[in-house]
Amino acid sequence: MRTLLVLIAAAIAGALTLYGFAPYRFYGLLPLSLAALAQLVQRNPQLAFRTGYVWGVAAYTSNFNWIYHSLHDVAGLPALLAAPLLLLLPAYLAIWPGLACWLTTRIDQRPWVRWLLAFPALCELGEWLRSWVMTGFPWGAIGYSQVTESPLSGFIPIGGVHLASWLVALTAGALVLVASGSRLQRLSAVVGIILLWSAGFWLQSLSWTTPTGKPYRVALAQGDIPQAIKWDPATFEETLKIYYQQVASTRAEVMILPETALPVFLDDLPSGYLTMIAGDAQRKNMALATGIPRRTNDGRGYLNAVVTLTDAAQPYYAKDHLVPFGEFIPLPALIGWIYQYMNMPLSGFSRGGANQAPLLLAGHRIAFNICYEDSFGEELIGPAAQAGVLANVSNLAWFGKSVAMSQHLQLSQARALETGRFMLRATNTGMTAIIRPDGEIASVAAPFTQQVLEGMVQDYQGLTPYMQCGNLPVIAGCIVLVLLAIGLGAWQRRQSSRPPEAAA
């Protein structure tokens, strides 16, 4: 019975993390949830892995509940298959917090070593590993909960979201000492938390990059095309009409249409339509870029691309970090049969290549990324360093009226903070937004509406500390802390095993 109660408590603590992220943004829930997990592990070390694993399954299932909507309601997968597939990703991701808890209990018995050295570092190393193992899934990392309301967001330009994740776990470890440590440990932990979060307040006032050139007007299209009809030939002409009308009614220096806004291969787009929409933009001296599938140069594959329509050469950016099971099929011989039950066109994209150059639109260098790529901060550093503005084009119609849109907006806010640049978001159904270099939302379009969001932005130059070093300092620091904790634990065990006369 005790084991069951511990696991139920861990599940509740994990499920509540949903409210720490957008759209709820109760950022204080994440350190409290992790502190509750750590306290359960402290009192029941024999259940460490199971406790961390159950916490992870509950946390990731509650945060990624929109997977079921995309598989069942949109892709048409039967519920008997969609429900277990919803649990598949959380079941894998939960391994990392489970391992972090298990290793924490085996490194050292002393609370301050466990909860200030081992636990925060192991939690962050788990977050980092899940961001690249098997192509990675960093969505929902602990640090995103601190964007931008939390004082800890001030650390994101320095060490990225991974630094924020470590600081959240460190705060949680300090809270464990406040709850169950010695008098000195409690006092030290309280002072440490106050100093840490106060430093974050101060860091929020710093600017790491500087504006350059004059502000200019941008326009971000939101077509609101339901996924169920997006690729339907019967609605193709209506889709083209919607986006042409949005372009025709807009005056800006730069206009961006969402991911696969024009649901046809670029070379299959009616030439009359291309001439009409590009010509209209050119007459207004407006650079126009759109998301559209594009065949590879050798004609053997196809790309998820953003193409500049108002440049005769049609320069493009092609998505490089593809979504497994969505944009490419891993192990097709093993799981390819599942796709016969789903309506999922273009699930075999080719990669576009790393570190593609920004696109030049109306004299402004804009570094594009597409949808899910926005969750990989370090991969955007190279293009961002060459650009004055970042832009993300997305089609989140796959996730309906779920929290996925708000969570993805929060990812973009983190990228703006990490790079010190404006982030433009052109999406099909939402959240279309303009985000300032400090991560704050300048303006946002109402989701599930057809509109064009316009606003003023400015190019920025310079490199934040995160852009100069990436994730390396945080990851290396966490490895050092784990090794230090292991060393202290080994020394403590040797000391305790020595005979009293030898110790004297």
Q: How far apart are CA 313 and CA 6, in angstroms?
A: 62
Q: How far apart are CA 101 and CA 38, in angstroms?
A: 8
Output the six-digit token pair for 262.
């024009």
Q: Give, for 438, the enclosing helix (H) or strand (E).
A: none
Q: Is 469 an annotated catalytic residue? A: no
Exposed, middle or buried by CB within 10 Å (0-12, 13-18, 19+), for 288? buried
Exposed, middle or buried by CB within 10 Å (0-12, 13-18, 19+), for 495? exposed
Question: Which of 438, 393, 375, 388 lies closest to 255 in space, CA to CA?
Answer: 393
3-state class of 458 per DSSP?
strand
CB 180 within 8 A of CB 39: yes
Report the first-to-last Cα separation within the chain, whole angstroms. Answer: 45
Q: How far apart are CA 165 and CA 160, in angstroms?
A: 9
What is the per-residue DSSP string for 469-497? HTTHHHHHHHHHHHHHHHHHHHHHHHHHH
Q: From the CB of residue 5, how many other CB atoms can be counted at a distance below 10 Å?
A: 11
Output the six-digit token pair for 35.
């502190």
**What b/e readout covers 125-151, taking b as 16+ CB neighbours within 10 angstroms?**
bbbbebbeeeebbbbbbbbbbbbbebb
From 123, 127, 319, 379, active-site residue: 319
From 371, 373, 378, 379, active-site residue: 371
Whole-Å CA distances, 79 to 71, 227, 341: 9, 19, 11
Q: How far apart are CA 185 and CA 181, in angstroms?
A: 5
Q: How far apart are CA 425 and CA 433, in angstroms?
A: 5
Q: Is 401 an annotated catalytic residue? A: no
Residue 226's Cβ-side half-sphere holds a number of Cα atoms within 13 Å equal to 8
From 124, 127, 259, 418, active-site residue: 259
Q: How far apart are CA 358 and CA 373, in angstroms?
A: 15
Using the Cα atoms of residue 164, residue 165, residue 171 and residue 174 in order, give the sign of their dihedral. negative
Output the six-digit token pair for 454.
């316009």
Torsion region of 353: left, alpha or beta (phi above 0 gives left; psi -120 to 50 gives alpha): left
CB 272 within 8 A of CB 240: no
CB 70 within 8 A of CB 395: no
3-state class of 328 per DSSP?
strand
Torsion region of 285: left, alpha or beta (phi above 0 gives left; psi -120 to 50 gives alpha): left
Q: Is 378 an annotated catalytic residue? A: no
- What does DSSP assign to residue 324? B
Q: Point out the residues that are catalytic.
A: 259, 319, 371
